[in-house]
A and B are shown apart, each in its own frame.
Chain A
Amino acid sequence: MIKYFNINTFNLSAGKLDALILIRLRWLMCALLALMAMMMAITELIASEQFVKVIFVLMAATLINNIFEDQYKKNGSAPVSNFWQLFLDLIITTIAFYFLGGIVNPTYFIMLLIPMIAPLFVNFKESIVLLLSCAQMLLLQIWSPYLQSDDFIPQAHDLIGIYIVLFASFSLMSWLSYLLEQTGLRLQNMVKQNIRVDGLKALGALSASFCHELGTPFATMRLCLDRIKEGRATQLDMELIRNSFSQCELSLQSMMSMGLDDKDIKLSKTSLNEILEKTTDNFLREDLNIKFTPAISETYVLLPKIPFTKMIVDIIENSFEADANEVIISLNKNEDHFIIEITDDGEGIDESVLIKLGTPFNTTKEQGTGIGLYNAKTLLEMLGGNLSIERRKGTTRGTVANLIISKSLEHKD
């Protein structure tokens, strides 16, 4: 099943690249400029006074970039828009190159990169403003007093060639950005279609299982009714009809328990710690001791609260029905996922249920519906995660259930 979240494969928000890429590029740019200034100072192309000035500008730039990155990690977005970030880059490079010799320094083309990448990060109007600003700032470089010799005194017409390159590459990048945007939109449409198809497939599989489930008791009832009609029925026939009727009822109940309102599935900001704590506190059964040991601090994620709580209750209920005395719930995380581990010391899950984990009506329990684990697996897969269940290693009893949720659902505040 396609994961319902994490669909932003290219980090495209509204078809534009993410601010984090800009922040990382800025680190690279500062490093390159610092390296160049150092080389020029060593080869005595620039005076130590110029070198100190450049390093001072770059220091300010890295300081600001550090703040940006911090803010990005905390809030998921930089404190200023992509446009102002690029504008800041333009100012930093302009000042740095002014001290490094202006257009006499052949590496000043780094400045051109800023308006060239702009269409990928900001909208068309903003990128035009950046392009014109860059052109203006290139002009300023002519008056850089450093590095000039008597043979070459830069004039405004020396910039004509570079302007042509700048405008041509800008147009090319704008076109590329447009293509990227279109691809992003198409991708999102495809994901939407896939979700619909997946929904239909799940519905098909479910109704097939439901037919299987109802077919047999109906067949029993039909044969018994025929026997009654022909006057051959005994007390046993009545019992068989009653049993089959209960089977149908059970299947119907499990189908009804799957019904959800739209508002139940709505994602809301939920504390994983709180939801687990509350569920364990509220789950009161005699002879069952539930421990919750979170290994991470309070974590907020976007979850459909009601089905998620129901799923946890279902899994603990399974442990209780397997005669467990103790259930230990832990909350942990790795690089990409949050992991809720539910361990019990019950009878241990049946091998046949494990083989067909994730198919509806898969149960060994007499009064079981076989819907709980199916629902759990479907819900977790929807949340970009998974459900894995195995028998506890090293002992004859006990089951371990791992509920895995994608970290992309984390809600930072």
Chain B
Amino acid sequence: MKVLLVENDLNFTTVLKMEFEFNNIELYTYSDPKNALTLDENIDHIILDQKLGEYNGIDFIPNFKKKWPLARLVVLTGHGSITSTVDAVKKGADDYLIKPISFPLLLATIKGNRADIQNVLENEEMSLERKEREHIEFVLGQCDGNISKAAKILGLHRQSLQRKLKKYTPK
């Protein structure tokens, strides 16, 4: 697995280098998108920073996609706005990440497996589903396991709550 990182912040590049090294993944780093395009390697994944000095990383997405059509391209940004997300996806980005971000999440995102991403998110207590589940369990606990009472507090139909609880129990 070969990853190309285009990022102009030296500190961030250094720490990512160490992390990829730790995970035994080959990483090529460039601070200038034009230089990065001269790389002659088979790249599987591209991480592109949005703010690259005088350039906007998003403008280079088509060039990267043209050079490595099969590579998964992920845009990294410090400020996620709807306009720039739409712009990036329209130009061919496969995903869009907002800094700061943990390494496992970055790795899962560049690999692109939805289930993995969900897993990482849950581990990081970031997922909505997990929050929802925790809240439901908390309310159920307060109601001594009385589903009807809990459903009333949660503003849910009793059957909907039961369906949700069924999902939580391991098969």
Chain A interface residues (CB < 8 Å from chain B): 207-209, 211-224, 226-227, 232, 236-237, 240, 243-244, 247, 351-353, 355-356
Decide if B99 is an interface residue (CB 8 Å cutoff).
yes
* Extra A-B contacts (17), CB below 8 Å, given A212-B50, A213-B78, A221-B100: A208-B79, A209-B79, A211-B79, A212-B51, A212-B79, A215-B78, A219-B12, A219-B99, A220-B11, A222-B102, A223-B19, A227-B15, A227-B19, A237-B15, A240-B15, A244-B11, A247-B11
Can you show 23 pairs from A to B with CB atoms below 8 A apart? A207-B79, A212-B77, A212-B79, A215-B99, A215-B100, A216-B9, A217-B9, A217-B11, A218-B99, A219-B12, A219-B76, A219-B99, A219-B100, A220-B9, A220-B15, A222-B100, A224-B15, A227-B15, A237-B15, A237-B18, A240-B11, A244-B12, A355-B54
| Binding site secondary structure of chain B | mixed
Give the docked Cα–Cα distance between A352 and B54 (Å): 5
Chain B interface residues (CB < 8 Å from chain A): 9, 11-12, 14-16, 18-19, 22, 49-51, 53-54, 76-79, 81, 98-103
| B76–chain A nearest beta-carbon distance, Å | 8
Query: Which residues of the partner chain A approach B81 to less than 8 Å between Cβ atoms?
Result: 208
| A188–chain B nearest beta-carbon distance, Å | 32
Give the residue name and chain of the A residue nearest to B15 (CB).
Answer: A223
Q: Which of B54, B79, B100 has the most CB of A within 10 A?
A: B100
| A212–chain B nearest beta-carbon distance, Å | 4
Query: Which residues of the partner chain B approach A352 to less than 8 Å between Cβ atoms?
Result: 53-54
Give the docked Cα–Cα distance between A222 and B105 (Å): 12
Count A-B contacts at CB 8 Å.
73
* A212 in contact with B15 given A219-B100, A352-B53 (CB within 8 Å): no
| A252–chain B nearest beta-carbon distance, Å | 15
Query: Which residues of the partner chain B approach A351 to less than 8 Å between Cβ atoms?
Result: 54
| A366–chain B nearest beta-carbon distance, Å | 11
Give the residue name and chain of the A residue nearest to B54 (CB).
Answer: A352
Give the residue name and chain of the A residue nearest to B81 (CB).
Answer: A208
Give the residue name and chain of the A residue nearest to B10 (CB).
Answer: A243
Query: Which residues of the partner chain B approach A353 to less than 8 Å between Cβ atoms?
Result: 54
Give the residue name and chain of the A residue nearest to B12 (CB).
Answer: A220
| A364–chain B nearest beta-carbon distance, Å | 8
Give the residue name and chain of the B residue nearest to A246 (CB).
Answer: B11
Give the residue name and chain of the B residue nearest to A211 (CB).
Answer: B79
Please tell me if the beta carbons of B77 and A215 are within 8 angstroms of each other in the complex: yes
Query: Which residues of the partner chain B approach A221 to less than 8 Å between Cβ atoms?
Result: 100
Query: Which residues of the partner chain A approach B98 to less than 8 Å between Cβ atoms?
Result: 215
